[in-house]
Amino acid sequence: GFGGRVTDNSNPKRPKYYNSPETPLYNKSRSLYGLHRAKQKCRQSGIAYLTEGYVDVLSLYQHGIENAVATLGTAITPEHVRLLKGYVREVILVYDSDEAGIRAAQRSIGTFRKENMDVRILVLPSGYDPDAYLFEFGPESFTDAAEGALSAMSFLLDAAIKKHGLSVEGKIRILSEMKGSLASVHDSVARSLYIKDFADRIHVDESAVLEQVREVIFENKKKGLSRQHYPPKQLSDGPLSSPALRIEQQITSMMLQFPEILTEIHHRNLIEDFENETLKSVCQTILKHNNGSDGRVSELIGLMDDKKKRDMATSLAMKEDAWTREGCLSLIAQFESIRNRRKTAFLVQKMGAADDHEEMLSIGNEFQREKEIQAGIRQ
């Protein structure tokens, strides 16, 4: 394959790079220029600079920055990303700061996200491509700038603000444009943090952003894009002390996402047996203010009187779980089983510590009543 770069940049509509067409041996969607020389430095640093063209790679190499590669006149493909994943943990996109470069970076972010690979974007000053920047400011300035490369979400938000402005109409357009990107962040904690930052940056209520993002997630689930179809076996919000506590988090998440189950939760009086007081309070608020219809989660969270409760509810509301009634009832049954075993063990312990026959008889009667209650629940 052959390629070349134009020397006259006066026509912005003309491609900067021209490449020969693909052949059985020359597959541009699976090839990265310079990788054969860069792969050792890529492995050592864990980072690769991905540029728009080979002249940028040559310039970086000339200035001592050897972990750089470029595409060959094509957009980033999943094959490119998977190829890079074999060498590095993170990619820094180094595109021109013109409109075409911004659009190329925006398209690339989605490809990296689908392949679950970390990507940041180095935004150069207006009018500079990597080659011009290096020759004017030098490699040290370039690497310093690379350390401050933007996260994908920050880059997308900056581009949206620049495009739409921060008027009321602009904020509406920004949220409409960004909610899909926020919803596509699979890690619920990371998504929650991005939503907080997003709301702060454009000065809107966090709960309003949360509601919009949840709608996108719900629509994706209906289209069959959800990653989970049953209650998750384990949540990733940090260490928990018992299986019961993990299930309490799952039940809270279920109540926020599947309000149709609230009547069943209330009927079985589950929440009173929660061990975690914060989760208990969150669930009590949900039961008190939600009538079992599709109530607004953001409004429920706003009613909570403590930041810790609001943060916990926000995180749990963003879990990507496709709840069904059968899945909910299965989770409830798990919790009731744990609750029943806990109550039985407590009564056996009380009986063993009883001082006289009358006390043992009283506890025995209590034990029998508990067994009858449990049998009634199972029926």
pLDDT digits (tens, 9 = 90+) for 7-65: 666 666 666 776 777 776 677 788 899 998 999 999 999 999 999 888 899 999 999 99
Which of the four pLDDT bands, split at 50, 70 and 90, describes residue 235?
A: very low
Structure pTM? 0.58
pLDDT at 130 exceeding the cut of 70: yes
Does 48 or 372 have the greater pLDDT score?
48
Q: What is the mean pLDDT of residues 142-161?
A: 92
Asked if the model's pLDDT at residue 253 lies above 50, the reply is yes
Higher pLDDT, 150 or 379: 150
pLDDT of residue 170: 93
3-class SS letters over the chain: CCEEECCCCCCCCCCCEEECCCCCCCCHHHCCECHHHHHHHHHHHCEEEEECCHHHHHHHHHCCCCCEEECCCCCCCHHHHHHHHCCCCEEEEECCCCHHHHHHHHHHHHHHHHCCCEEEECCCCCCCCHHHHHHHHCHHHHHHHHHCCEEHHHHHHHHHHHHHCCCHHHHHHHHHHHHHHHHCCCCHHHHHHHHHHHHHHHCCCHHHHHHHHHHHHHHHHHCCCCCCCCCCCCCCCCCCCCHHHHHHHHHHHHHHHCHHHHHHHHHHCCHHHCCCHHHHHHHHHHHHHCCCCCCCHHHHHHCCCCHHHHHHHHHHHCCCCCCCHHHHHHHHHHHHHHHHHHHHHHHHHHHHCCCCHHHHHHHHHHHHHHHHHHHHHHC
What confidence tier does 103 reach under pLDDT thresholds 50, 70, 90? confident
Residue 356 has pLDDT above 90, yes or no: no
Q: Residue 292: its pLDDT value, please? A: 46
Name the fold adopted by 3-155: Dna Topoisomerase Vi A Subunit; Chain: A, domain 2 (3.40.1360)
pLDDT reported for residue 375: 58
What pLDDT is attached to residue 198?
93
Give me the pLDDT at residue 9, please: 66
Mean pLDDT over each residue of the chain, to the nearest integer: 81
What residue spans define the domains of the chain? 3-155, 165-222, 243-325, 333-378
